[in-house]
Amino acid sequence: MLFPLTVVVLVAAVCLMAVAGWYAARSLVVDDRLLLVAGVTELGLLVQLVVCLVHLGRVPGGGAEQATFAAYAITLPFVPPAALFLALKEKTRWSMGVVAVGAFAVAVMTARLQQIWNLRG
Amino acid sequence: MAENPSGPPAPGMPPPATTDGPRSTRSGPGVVLVAVYGLLALAATGRSVLQITEYFSRAPLAYVLSALAALIYLVATVALARGDRTSRAVALVAISVELVGVLVVGLASYLAKDAFPDKTVWSHFGSGYGFVPLVLPVLGLLWLRRTRSS
């Protein structure tokens, strides 16, 4: 995995988590700013997916590691849209909490992806 | 903990679906609980499928328990998301099994290390998942209690 790309995705995901958490605390609902941050995160995840699939053959550790790597890369881009869909449908502070949880999951999974990649040694 | 009970309802917001009877388990903070359950269901299912298809013989007991955990999380997620009367009962059973499971497997993973050569969602009380598997069933049971018919 490209390390700079991982950093970009992580920063975007942490920003999304912060904004959503702040909105939840202030009882705000989804707006353009949140959608913009989520959009940047999603764009990063889509680029990451392509990069991951291109380099899948170079993932160390055999079939199981490669399967995990691919599964993470493919699952990740689905997380922000799912959370945002709920946030747009149910405009409560609690759906902002869901977006924050989703953004946290994106950060953790992206870090795991980089971890698996780093095992190449 | 309804949304902002002191203020007037926001314009365009539908009124609460039920006033008497139990509150829906996905209302208010419940939706966050459903989301966290959904995430764990996803993580546990993914891990379990991988463990069973790729290297089942390495730790059969641990991997069967992984699959059980995944199933429990899936059932709990769907039951909490549906939130009707039957689903509440299903959720109560699922989350109770989950609590017992994480406690028993967590303890066993320390006492009988040989049986757990590889990690499961519940081993070491869910330390690999930030102890969320330990906290979640407690929150789930408290939430079911709180949303009982008042």
Is A92 in the B-facing interface, judged by CB distances under 8 Å?
yes
- CB of A39 within 8 Å of a chain B CB? The answer is no
Q: Mutating which of B6, B13, B25, B36 best tests the A interface, going by the most A Cβ atoms within 10 A?
A: B36
Helices and strands per DSSP (H, E), number in chain A = 5, 0
Cβ proximity of B1 and B29 under 8 Å: yes
Q: Which of A98, A108, A116 to mutate to test the interface with B (most CBs of B within 10 A)?
A: A98
Structure tokens at A10: 């992580």
Is some CB atom of chain B closer than 8 A to the CB atom of A101? Answer: yes
* Confidence label for A7 from pLDDT (cuts 50, 70 and 90): very high
> Token digits for B99?
């609590």
Non-local CB neighbours of A107 within 8 Å, separated by 6+ positions: A10, A13, A14, A17
ipTM of the complex: 0.89
Q: Mind listing the pLDDT tens digit for each residue in A67-119?
A: 889 999 999 999 999 999 999 998 899 999 999 999 999 999 999 999 989 88
**Structure pTM?**
0.86
| Structural domain containing residue A103 | 3-118
- The runs of H, that is alpha helices, within B26-150 are 30-55, 60-82, 85-111, 132-146
Q: Which of B146, B138, B149 is nearest to B28 (CA)?
A: B146
Whether B80 maps to a domain, the answer reads yes
User: Of B41, B50, B52, B56, which Cα lies nearest the Cα of B129?
Assistant: B41
pLDDT tens string B76-90: 999 999 988 999 999
The number of folded domains in chain A is 1
Q: In which domain, by residue range, is B91 found?
A: 30-146
Taking residues B19-30, report their average pLDDT.
76
pLDDT for B103 equals: 95
Whether B7 is in a domain gets the answer no
Count of domains for chain B: 1
